[in-house]
Chain A
Amino acid sequence: MTAMRVDAKVVMLGKESVGKTSLVERYVHRRFLVGPYQNTIGAAFVAKALNVSDKVVTLGIWDTAGSERYEAMSRIYYRGARAAIVCYDLTDSSSFKRARFWVKELQNCEEHCKIYLCGTKSDLIEADRSVRQVDYHDVQDFAEEIGAQHFETSSKTGKNVDEVFQKVADDFSSCALEFMQEEKGVDLEQKKDSYFDNCCHN
């Protein structure tokens, strides 16, 4: 598992067509693809490096398929993840139910995985408030209850997209730092690489 130096594994979860792939496309390639919707098959992996204060952190992002067909396989995609971006479509209340399912699954199976709730397609809401089906405050309450972060994004306009991933990376490195300071004797300068490797593939 050393082919790619990835510091933190991040997994995208959520019902199909909520916009997980679009979110990753926007963040990694700075684009929004219009055209017929192409559902993801299995999962797609991309690595993306970003700066956290003066360090570089590489996120290994797993964009999973929302189709139920792959549910049985989902564990291989989220196992060992440091962060899960659980997406729901702001204009589709059933997608939020599905998001709750993923939260429960993560709480049961990956207790060290931080959860980021992400309401997608906020541009549609801005264009027409009446299409909103998931209330901001309801999700905010839920997020506090489970100790998650909460964002509303648009991959079409790019709104809040960088913020989500930046937050993921910030949280990861500050948590890693905290962790290291607790375990005295780890030399931050020399052992950084090996520490991060252990940390993300445990």
Chain B
Amino acid sequence: MPDARMAADVHNKGVFWEVKNGNLAPSDRLRQDRSDSPTPGLVEGTEPGAGQEGAMFVHAQSFEDLTAVSESNTDDNSAEVGDSNLESAQEAALEGGEEESLEAEQEEVGKEEVQSRKKAKEEDVTSETWRSHRKHVFVLSEAGKPIYTRYGTEEALSSIMGVMMLLMSIVEDKKNIIRSIHADGYRVVFLRKSPLILVGVFQTNCSDRELTRELQYIYYQIVSLLTLTQLNHVFQHRQSYDLRRLLAGSEHLTDNLLRLLDRDPGLLLSAVMCLPLASSARDMVSSSLQAAKAKNLVFSILLAGNRLVTLVRKKDQFLHHMDLHLLFNLVGSSSSFRAGEGWTPICLPKFNPAGFFHAHISYLEPASDLCLILVSTDREDFFNLSDCKKRFLERLRRRNAYQSLQEALNMPSYPVSQVGIPELRHFVYKSKSSGLYTSPDLPAPYQGEEELERLMGLYQQLHSCLHNPTRLLRYIYRCADTENLYALVTSGFELYLCFSPLGTKSLAVSAVNKLLKWIRKEEDRLFILSPLTY
């Protein structure tokens, strides 16, 4: 009976890989000429943290839906902004929006305190608390059936869903697509991804692009559970299908993803953070994982919480950071994989939305945070992969690498004071060519959930300014009551710095070079410089 759906399986198609290679392999860059003295003018591939043998990830910018959202080539153009233009560009940013944005933040913080921490599905959708949530997300079918709401129950929301449908249909009549509505401190953003419609209602002043990106994550989260093939299939069959039947039990994955979007800079930057680890130890782990291969194995990924320890991939196959974040989310939001060895179909939608991979997911030890994900194309591969895991563990133990791994895991990442820049509280540095980022431990003022989200909100606004396709900026300096921020983007990296209010602009500017030097010095601990393939 289930064979129609099984057809979505990705295994056993000979041509499949070849087609993919053509699309997914990033263009060859000159990665050999790595610069010794890093400057903001570094080209991609030579910045600190750039991999030596090519990227592990596909570049976000090369993907349809990020370009579809009116993204012109921000990166390339911004590199051309000459130094003389910088001052004026930056003043413009300072004039526009700074004051108001800060006020809005204060307000948000106030409201956050009112809402309860845990999701209350039962909450009354006519209540003030329901309305005051900072970020609502709704998913509905094209027939207007509710599929997901972040707060409250879907049933209680059918009238709101009706209004959304109406709005969309009115505008679409005129052969236009409604993208967003701005009113009264709210932004309503629409994303149509047939057969689904996603709507976000945000109290924020981030750009629509940022908000659309969040909706895309939610969309791909759903596709990763079902595949696009199956999604299309059920709605072709019956337009009024209630998709919640198939998504039952997955709501907490979406809830958790929305939380990650508010807290994890990786999702903002399209990048992944590594567990800091001595390069000798990491190499040992990577090569052990490389040796534990199997015929249909495509990716072997070792995670430590939300940080990547290593990733080994089949030659010529690249993982998209978004797919990796979806895997992080899957593992991070469920204790299910602690119950035994997990074996589950999973679609990696940026790799191929049409088919399922099969993932063997297990923790290295019952109480450990180290989680191994082995992704295969063959749904019969469970025992083969289980054997791979065993071989990997044996090898690790034989070389005593397990111990150093466990020790690295128990240590905090690194305090920002190690960098030695006065007044610097926190930073996020992304190497564009490797798709990896690094960030110190959160300092005391940002350790609470709300404060963390506020800081991430500030970074998000800077990100939004730097990537505004109509007003290209290379850097932004922004003063606020509680911190001063400096953000910088070049063709090789993106950097966000957070200083105490005592920091000055000249301090910030001079900090960049110092920080880059420090990162260069530490790069083999903080990044994966030589990713392996089977």
| Partner-B contacts on A (CB < 8 A) | 1-4, 16, 21, 24-25, 38-46, 61, 63, 65-76
Give the distance in Å from the alpha carbon of A39 to the alpha carbon of B249 in the complex: 6
- Write out the residue numbers on chain A whose beta carbons fall within 8 Å of the beta carbon of B472: none
Check A40/B383 contact, CB under 8 A, given A65-B249, A69-B247.
no
The residue of chain B having its C-beta at the shortest distance from the C-beta of A2 within the complex is: B383
B340 pairs with A46, CB closer than 8 A: yes
**Contact indicator A43/B342 (Cβ below 8 Å):** yes
User: 15 other contacts beyond A41-B344, A44-B342, A73-B2, with CB at 8 A cut-off?
Assistant: A3-B386, A21-B339, A38-B335, A40-B339, A41-B337, A41-B342, A44-B336, A44-B340, A45-B382, A46-B339, A63-B339, A67-B248, A69-B225, A69-B247, A69-B250
Task: Provide the residues of chain A in CB contact with B330, threshold 8 Å.
Answer: 41
List B residues 233-275 near A (Cβ within 8 Å): 245-250
With A and B bound together, what is the CA distance between A43 and B382 in angstroms?
Answer: 11
Please tell me if B299 contacts chain A, counting CB pairs below 8 Å. no
Residues in chain A near residue B341, CB distance under 8 A: 44-46
Contacts of A75 on B, CB cut-off 8 Å?
2
22 contacts between A and B (CB under 8 A): A3-B383, A3-B384, A3-B387, A16-B248, A21-B339, A24-B339, A38-B336, A39-B336, A40-B339, A41-B334, A41-B337, A41-B344, A42-B345, A43-B342, A44-B337, A44-B342, A44-B343, A45-B340, A63-B340, A66-B249, A69-B246, A72-B5
A42 and B248 contact, CB distance less than 8 A:
no
The minimal Cβ–Cβ distance linking B109 to chain A, given in whole angstroms, is 28
B433 to chain A, nearest CB (A): 33
Contact check, A67 vs B249: say whether CB atoms are below 8 A apart.
yes
- Alpha-carbon distance A76/B386, docked complex (angstroms): 16
For chain B, the bracket of interface size reads: 20 to 34
> Which residue of chain B has the shortest Cβ distance to A65 in the bound complex?
B249
CA distance A24 to B246 in the complex (A): 25
Known: A3-B390, A42-B345, A67-B249. A25 touches B339 (CB 8 A): yes
Chain B residues with CB under 8 Å of chain A are 2, 5-6, 225-226, 245-250, 330, 334-337, 339-346, 359, 379-380, 382-384, 386-387, 390
- Whether the Cβ atoms of B343 and A68 lie closer than 8 Å is no
Residues of chain B with a CB closer than 8 A to A41's CB:
330, 334, 336-337, 342, 344
Q: Which residues of A contact B335 (CB under 8 A)?
A: 38
Tell me the complex Cα distance, A76–B429, Å: 44
Q: Enumerate chain A residues within 8 angstroms of B346, measured Cβ to Cβ.
A: 42
- Of B5, B343, B384, the residue contacting A45 (CB under 8 A) is B343
Asked whether A40 lies within 8 Å of B387 as measured between CB atoms, the reply is: no
| A43→B346 CA distance, assembly (Å) | 12
- Closest-by-CB residue of B relative to A33 is B335
C-alpha gap A103/B269 in the complex (Å): 49
Q: How distant is B226 from chain A, measured CB to nearest CB, in Å?
A: 7
Q: Which residues of A contact B387 (CB under 8 A)?
A: 2-4
Query: By DSSP majority rule, is chain A's interface helix, strand, loop, or mixed?
Result: mixed
Given the complex of chains A and B, what is the CA–CA distance between A74 and B5 in angstroms? 12
Contacts of A44 in B (CB 8 A): 336-337, 339-343
Min CB–CB distance A187 → chain B (angstroms) = 27
In Å, the complex CA distance between A40 and B361 comes to 12
Q: Knowing A4-B386, A40-B336, A76-B380, say if A69 contacts B6 (CB, 8 Å).
A: no
Query: With A38-B334, A65-B249, A76-B379 in contact, is A43–B5 under 8 Å at CB?
Result: no
Residues of A within 8 A of B339 (CB): 21, 24-25, 40, 44, 46, 63
- Complex CA–CA separation, A44 to B225 (angstroms): 17
Cα–Cα, bound, A74→B386 (Å): 19
Q: A45-B382, A65-B249 are in contact. Are A73 and B334 (CB under 8 A)?
A: no
* Nearest CB in chain A to that of B248: its residue: A67
Q: Are A4 and B383 in contact (CB under 8 A)?
A: yes
Which residues does chain A contribute within 8 Å of B247, judged by CB atoms? 69
In the complex, which of the residues B248, B337, B340, B386 contacts A69, with contact meaning CB atoms closer than 8 Å?
B248
Give CA–CA (A80, B337) in the complex, Å: 23
A69 to B382, CA, bound (A): 19
Q: Collect the chain B residues with CB atoms within 8 Å of residue A65's CB.
A: 249, 344
Contact A42 B6 (CB under 8 A): no
Measured in the bound complex, the distance between the Cα atoms of B346 and A25 in whole Å is: 24
- Shortest Cβ distance from B5 into A: residue: A72
Complex-state Cα separation, A16 to B336, whole angstroms: 13
Nearest chain-A residue to B344 (Cβ)? A42
Complex Cα distance, B253 from A42, in Å, reads: 14
Please report the C-alpha to C-alpha distance between residue A63 and residue B344 in the assembled complex, in whole angstroms: 12
A148 → B minimal CB distance (Å): 22
| B331 closest partner in A (C-beta) | A41
Nearest to A35 among chain B residues (CB) is B335
Contact residue among A42, A66, A71, A76 (Cβ-Cβ distance under 8 Å from B342): A42
Contacts of A39 on B, CB cut-off 8 Å? 249, 334, 336
CB distance from B515 to the nearest CB of A (A): 40
| Chain B positions within 8 Å of A76 at CB level | 379-380
A43: contacting residue among B248, B344, B380, B390, CB under 8 A: B344
Contact of A42 among B5, B343, B380 (CB under 8 A): B343
Q: Complex formed: what's the CA distance from A72 to B344 in Å?
A: 12
**Which residues of chain B come closer than 8 Å to A67, judged between CB atoms?**
246, 248-250
Is the pair B248, A68 in contact by a Cβ cutoff of 8 Å? yes
Q: How many Å lie between the Cα of A183 and that of B515 in the bound state? A: 76
Bound state CA distance, A106 and B250, in angstroms? 26
A80 to chain B minimum Cβ distance, whole angstroms, is 11
Known contacts A4-B386, A41-B330; A70/B345 CB under 8 A: yes
Closest to A36 in B: B252
- How far apart are B393's CB and chain A's nearest CB, in angstroms? 12
Q: Smallest Cβ distance from B529 to chain A, in angstroms?
A: 33
Q: Complex: how many Å from CA A25 to CA B336?
A: 11
B337 and A68 contact, CB distance less than 8 A:
no
Give the complex CA separation of A4 and B2 in angstroms.
29
Contacts of B246 in A (CB 8 A): 67-69
Task: Tell me, in angstroms, the Cα distance from A40 to B250 when the chains sit together.
Answer: 10
Provide the bound-state CA to CA distance between A41 and B5, in Å.
18
Report the minimum CB–CB distance from B394 to chain A (whole Å). Answer: 12
B249 touches A16 (CB 8 A): yes
Closest to B380 in A: A76
Chain B residues positioned under 8 Å from A25 (CB to CB): 339
Q: Complex formed: what's the CA distance from A77 to B336 in Å?
A: 16
Q: Which residues does chain B contribute within 8 Å of A3, judged by CB atoms?
A: 383-384, 386-387, 390
**A14→B380 CA distance, assembly (Å):** 22
Residues of chain A within 8 A (CB-CB) of B5 are: 72
Known contacts A1-B383, A16-B248, A44-B343; decide if A72 and B336 are in contact (CB<8 Å): no
